[in-house]
Chain A
Amino acid sequence: MIEVRNLTKHYGDKHAVNNISFTVEDGEILGFLGPNGAGKSTTMNMLTGYISSTSGQALINGVDILEDPIKAKSYIGYLPELPPLYVDMTVKSYLNYVYDLKKCKLPRRAHLNEVMALTKVSDVADRLIKNLSKGYRQRVGLAQALIGNPPVLILDEPTVGMDPRQIQEILSLIKKLGKNHSVILSSHILSEIQATCDRIIIINKGVVAAHDTTDNLSKNISTDHRVIARIEGPREEIIKAIRNIEGIKYVRADMEREAGVYEYEIEAAPDQDIRRDLFDIVTEHHWYLLGLRSAELTLEDVFLKITMGEGIIVPSAEDKKGAKA
């Protein structure tokens, strides 16, 4: 379990991280999102005791990382942005070293073999780390974090440099580990976070810009009812006809997708379902409806919306409840 209370880090008068609070329960995976330089790695470095916080508190399994660093660190498996690998060691001797470094008590051979099998590095166990590809190095880094079976895992962009199949494997491994560990996972790749994490924190400019479950986050921002329709037919007439539907707020033709086929972005009044009306109009004029989809915001859109420009702060479901009460 990880508890973070008002964690702050200043470098001089620059606020790298400002007043961040969150909790990760056992058996939960928290996604950490944010553009480069937003403070993700700084936060993780504070949680793992690599750097100290200016103020605030980070508790790992109830132990303050600054008060009893050695005990707190023993609960953490950490994969930093750049895995801390000694490149002139073999994978096996490196993992043995980490085993000793962490003063691990589990049966050595069985445990190391288990970790290597989980992270799929058994077949390179006797190779020098400097001869491994980026994807393999990343997996050795993950193996290193798993040694000693720590209850808390902090993984800073664990899938960097992997091919799509390896990413799938590692994410499903993390998901499996998330059932009985507290996991913090940071990534730039939103689909990864969406597929793996229970909750998401978006950090922007050192503050928490959004904090919610994956589903709520996209719902929260996309309040308006919008669809995107792909229709074959004369553009001006179509726009005019759609405008005549009751409750339409906005319609716009997008680029030409095929010859004579445009995509139309249509926004109706909230809570109004215009899909049937749209269908009627199209058939009435003998146009063809080639595609229709809801323009609900993806996590990608949410991310961009939050982190672009000045950045907005999305209240979480809990905050809203609190406000109502």
Chain B
Amino acid sequence: MSKPSTDMNQIEINQPEMKSVVNAPQPTIPLPRGPVPQAPTRESRSIEIKIDGHSVSVPEGSTILDAGRQLGIETPTLCFLESLTPVNVCRVCVVELEGSRTLVPACSRKVEANMSIKTDSERVRLSRKLVLEFLASSVDLSTAPKMQEYMERYGAQPDRFGETRATVAQPVKVDNDLYVRDYSKCVLCYKCVEACGVDAQNTFAIAVAGRGFSAHIATEFDVPLPDSACVYCGNCIGVCPTGALMFKSEFDMRQAGTWDESKQMQTDTICPYCGVGCDLTVHAQDGKIVRVTSPLDHSVTHGNLCIKGRFGWQFVQIQPAENGK
């Protein structure tokens, strides 16, 4: 690895004793050990609710989804992600709440004392089926395996809307060497917009534009990414549930028919660049890196990376012969 001294941040403030930086008296090692410093924590009380007849107690502020998970109930989700603010737009997670006129989204509805909830009633199943049919009839879900599972579970038949139905089919956008955008596969879950915006990157290169069925994700006036504010962190790819946003490396291999996840190994390591210490999950196929992701539950980065971490691994693939000696 190359670590030029240009960036040797050689002043060691992160030393057990700050003042030794300068006058370096005879240090006593190790430091006297005080109490372990901790971040302040907040108290929370627990709330009991009923789901499908079973009582469950969860901390205040939990959602119905959290409570269901505690009971082992698998609620389908699409626009939900632990690391993003719930937007509850896909409505595939709706459940029946006693006393509510309409169904409510499990992913964002906070528990309240004495709620009684049904997660598998006929109303719930019908709405979930229709939502899945609506999506599958307008969007290409071929790279969203989870959606195929849900469709089977709810008996969705998207073909019952006929051949002349409106869809979001459109050409793939390939305007840079790092990732492609295939909005034929976009379910408009808003995740990429959230990741580009306040939930992670604060770049705001993309937003939802237009309205209704024509609403879509776009840069201003749909300019190509290199003309936009995009900084290629790829955090949008990391949260995209349908493969609408895809590494160029993966896209090319899929085009060539060589993409094979069954042959891929995933190994976690730490990014070789700056000092943040981001966790990289390296996906390798036949000893070659094919893409890099980051685990959502890692406390350093919560799935987010920058351009270097997500895309700057090509140097690993270069054989010595390609570079001088």
Partners in one complex: no
| Chain B contacts to A: CB under 8 angstroms | none
